[in-house]
Amino acid sequence: MIYLDNAATTRMYDEVIDAEKNVEKNFFANPSALHSFGMEAENLIKESKRTFAKELGCEENEIYFTKGATESNNIIISSLASKQAEAISTGIEHASVYDAFNNYEYKEVKYLKNDKYGYIDLKDLEKSLTEDTKLVSIIYVNNETGTIQNIKEISKIVKEYNKDILLHIDATQALAKEDCKVKSLGVDALSFSGHKIHGPKGVGGLYVSKNFISKLKPLLYGGRQEIISSGTYNSPAIVAMAKALELMKEKNERSYIKELNLYFRKLVKENISNYTFISPSDKVSYYILNVGFANIKSEVLLHMLEEEEIYVSSGSACSKGAKSRVLENLNVDNKFIDGSLRFSFSSDITKKDIDKTINILKNSIEIIRKVM
């Protein structure tokens, strides 16, 4: 199997599965319990927070565990919603931001303009800020194209205008892959998820600066175990997610991933005609490469690759079947959108895997183009 769909989800590392099992078997007490067995479990949660705090350069008590980035994003957007509040976001957000804005009531949500690679227009940001702006929410690394936004510059503009505006970033595709130090980025809140870093699904978190936590509330009311998130801790998943983050840091795979990405691009150039790289070549996460092939239906191509046990994504995995809202917003020519595939890498992939993928890709494209 050649798994090139790591932006959709990643394989849990064996050590991560072991860490999860260890908690299931040996530390299964409720971390909120008062007895010593519960406190042992609580200590594991605290240790996990330390791991995330170190990565984000914040205090442990500014990390809140949630059921995933979808919950984290929704906590931010629901908490700041009011008939008097304006928010600023982009047209290339993940559905968990975009759909949340569509379903919570704001006075107005402004969607910033972007260029053909998805970089947002900073002049438009400057113009969009008003005295009613309460929230700016921007995707850090785009899940479909890998485009990295200039968060430091965005923060400068927002904070110079009004330091009380909450600047939130969705860093789901960025954690452990790009610089996520919240102080140097200048952000007040940051969402992340376990399953994009070789951890478990259904667990994630939110960094919230202590200056802003009082503005936030949970989506589900209950025990308030995490103040802004309720429900018994999923301690095995939390501990496993922290283990995954540690392993990602140890592996230090970024330059290898870049090498894979550039190798893939080179082979596409050499072997395939009439394509476009939808992902930018610079200021990009090399974990993600989106390529549009003309005169191709991406689903057909995806299934032909699948026959050879090569797994990729067409558009975003979260919007099955539907035409990608993100790609439409990039103003990519329709002939390339229809034939767009997202290849997303991990350190499990070898150059040999890429050779095989390109070979099958080339043959499949030739077959499809002949019959169309």
User: What are the two backbone dihedrals, phi and then psi, of residue 362, each rounded to the nearest 5 degrees?
Assistant: -60, -50
Minimum distance between the CB of residue 58 and ligand PMP, rounded to whole angstroms?
20
Give, in degrees to the nearest 5, the angle at Cα 232 between 231 and 237: 110
Q: Residue from 79, 143, 235, 290 that binds ligand PMP (CB under 6 A)? A: 143
Nearer to ligand PMP, 96 or 149 (CB): 96
Minimum distance between the CB of residue 167 and ligand PMP, rounded to whole angstroms?
16
The whole-angstrom separation of Cα 45 and Cα 51 is: 10
**Tokens 């050649």, residue?**
2
Q: Does 139 bind ligand PMP (CB under 6 A)?
A: yes
Q: 222 near 230, Cβ under 8 Å?
A: yes
Half-sphere exposure of 174 (CA within 13 A, CB side): 26
Write out the two tokens for 28: 């299964």
Q: 13 near 198, Cβ under 8 Å?
A: yes
Give the SS3 label for residue 136: strand
Nearer to ligand PMP, 8 or 302 (CB): 8
Q: Residue from 10, 12, 68, 279 that binds ligand PMP (CB under 6 A)? A: 68
Question: How does DSSP classify residue 147?
Answer: B
Q: Residue from 79, 145, 147, 173 that binds ligand PMP (CB under 6 A)? A: 173
Active-site residue list: 318
Residue 42 CB partners (closer than 8 Å, separation 6+)? 31, 32
Minimum distance between the CB of residue 267 and ligand PMP, rounded to whole angstroms?
26
The whole-angstrom separation of Cα 274 and Cα 286 is: 22
Angle between helices 235-251 and 36-56 (to 10 degrees): 40
Q: Does 96 bind ligand PMP (CB under 6 A)?
A: yes
Q: Does 70 bind ligand PMP (CB under 6 A)?
A: yes
The whole-angstrom separation of Cα 155 and Cα 136 is: 9
Give the SS3 label for residue 167: strand
**Residue range at the interface with ligand PMP (CB under 6 A); choices 167-175, 216-224, 244-252, 347-355:** 167-175
Q: Does 290 bind ligand PMP (CB under 6 A)?
A: no
Q: Does 69 bind ligand PMP (CB under 6 A)?
A: yes
Looking only at residues 300 through 359 of this chain, which bind ligand PMP when binding is defined by CB under 6 A?
318
Task: Name the closest residue to ligand PMP (Cβ).
Answer: 68
The whole-angstrom separation of Cα 368 and Cα 6 is: 26
Minimum distance between the CB of residue 362 and ligand PMP, rounded to whole angstroms?
29
**Residue range at the interface with ligand PMP (CB under 6 A); choices 116-124, 166-174, 212-220, 235-243:** 166-174
**Residue range at the interface with ligand PMP (CB under 6 A); choices 27-35, 62-70, 116-124, 239-247:** 62-70
Minimum distance between the CB of residue 318 and ligand PMP, rounded to whole angstroms?
5
Q: Residue from 6, 51, 155, 193 that binds ligand PMP (CB under 6 A)? A: 193
Nearer to ligand PMP, 10 or 51 (CB): 10
Residue 23 CB partners (closer than 8 Å, separation 6+)? 41, 44, 235, 236, 239, 240
Binding site for ligand PMP (CB under 6 A): 68-70, 94, 96, 139, 143, 170, 172-173, 193, 204, 318
